[in-house]
Amino acid sequence: MLAALGRLVVRQPLGAAGAVVVLALVAVAVLAPRLAPHGPKETGFAPYIAPSAEFPMGTDQVGRDVLSRVIWGARLSLYVGLASVVFGITLGSLWGVATAYFGGAADAGSQRVVDSLMALPPIILALSLMAALGQSVTNVILALTILLTPTAARTVRSVALGVVATPYIEAARASGCTHWRIIRHHLIPNCLASYIVLMTTNVSYAIVVEASLSFIGAGAPPDEPSWGGMLTAGIQALETAPWMVFFPGLAISLAVFGLNLFGDSIRDLTDPRLRGGLG
Amino acid sequence: MRQYVIRRLVLFVPTLLGASLLVFVLMRLVPGDIAEILVYQTGSESSTIQKKQIQQIRAELGLDRPVAVQYLAWMAAAARGDFGQSYTQRRPVRDILIERFPRSLELAGLTLALAVIWAIPLGVVSAVRQNGWLDYAARVLSLSGLSLPLFVTGALILYGLVRLFRWIPPLEFVAFTEDPAENLKQLIWPALCQAYYISAPITRLTRSQMLEVIRDDYVRTARAKGLGEGAVVYRHALKNALLPVVTFIGWWGGRLLGGVVIMEIIFVVPGMGTALVQAVSQRDYPTVQAMIFVMALVFLLVNLVVDLLYAWLDPRIRYA
Q: Give the model confidence (pLDDT) of A121-162 as tens digits.
A: 899 899 989 988 888 999 999 999 999 999 999 999 999 998
Q: Give the model confidence (pLDDT) of B134-145 as tens digits.
A: 888 888 888 788
pLDDT band at A8 (very low <50, low <70, confident <90, very high): low
SS (H, E, C) A207-224: HHHHHHHHHCCCCCCCCC
pTM listed for this prediction: 0.87
pLDDT value at residue B112: 94
CA B267 to chain A, closest CA, distance in angstroms equals 11
Q: Tell me the average pLDDT across A169-188.
A: 91
Q: Nearest by CB to B22, from A116, A253, A254: name it.
A: A116
Cβ pair B27:A234 closer than 8 A: no
Task: Give contacts of B21 with chain A, Cβ < 8 Å.
Answer: 116
Tell me how crowded residue A23 is: count the other CB atoms within 10 A of its CB.
12
Query: Does A279 lie at the interface with B, CB-CB under 8 angstroms?
Result: yes
Mutate to test the interface with A, among B22, B128, B147 (most CBs of A within 10 A): B147
pLDDT higher than 90, residue A87: yes
Cβ pair A273:B148 closer than 8 A: no
Distance CA B214, CA B222 (A): 11
Segment 159-188 of chain A within 8 Å of chain B by CB: none
Tell me how crowded residue A141 is: count the other CB atoms within 10 A of its CB.
23
What ipTM does the predicted assembly reach? 0.82
3-class SS at A244? helix
What count of Cα atoms within 13 Å lies in the side-chain half-sphere of residue A242?
Answer: 10
CA A249 to chain B, closest CA, distance in angstroms equals 5
Kindly write down the DSSP assignment for every residue of A93-157, as one continuous string. Answer: HHHHHHHHHH-HHHHHHHHHHHHHHHHS-HHHHHHHHHHHH-S-HHHHHHHHHHHHHHHHHHHHH
Asked if residues A32 and A71 have their Cβ atoms less than 8 Å apart, the reply is yes
| Best CA proximity match to A16, nearest among A27, A25, A7, A8 | A8
Cβ pair B144:A112 closer than 8 A: no
pLDDT band at B49 (very low <50, low <70, confident <90, very high): confident
Angular region, B44: left φ>0, alpha ψ -120 to 50, beta rest: beta
pLDDT value at residue A45: 85
Cβ pair A119:B162 closer than 8 A: no
pLDDT value at residue A265: 81
Distance CA B52, CA B69 (A): 23
Q: Quote the mean pLDDT of chain A.
A: 88
Cβ pair A121:B280 closer than 8 A: no
CA A147 to chain B, closest CA, distance in angstroms equals 13
Cβ pair A249:B26 closer than 8 A: no
Distance CA B188, CA B167 (A): 13
Task: Give contacts of A211 with chain B, Cβ < 8 Å.
Answer: 149, 151
Distance CA A250, CA B50 (A): 49
Task: Provide the H-helix boundaries in chain B.
Answer: 2-29, 34-42, 47-61, 67-79, 93-128, 133-147, 150-165, 180-213, 217-224, 229-231, 238-259, 261-266, 272-281, 285-313, 315-318
Distance CA B142, CA A46 (A): 40
Distance CA A68, CA A252 (A): 15
Question: Across the strands, what pairs with B92?
Answer: B85
Asked if residues B123 and B206 have their Cβ atoms less than 8 Å apart, the reply is yes
Angular region, B227: left φ>0, alpha ψ -120 to 50, beta rest: beta
Distance CA A128, CA A137 (A): 15
Distance CA A219, CA A211 (A): 8
Q: How far is CA A243 from the centre of its chain?
A: 26
Q: Tell me the average pLDDT across B20-45.
A: 77
Cβ pair A215:B262 closer than 8 A: yes
Segment 78-137 of chain A within 8 Å of chain B by CB: 112-113, 115-117, 119-121, 123-124, 127-129, 131-132, 134
Q: Nearest by CB to A274, from B136, B211, B262: name it.
A: B211
3-class SS at A59? strand
pLDDT value at residue A41: 87
Q: Give the model confidence (pLDDT) of A25-78 as tens digits.
A: 999 999 999 998 888 888 878 888 889 888 889 888 888 999 999 999 999 999
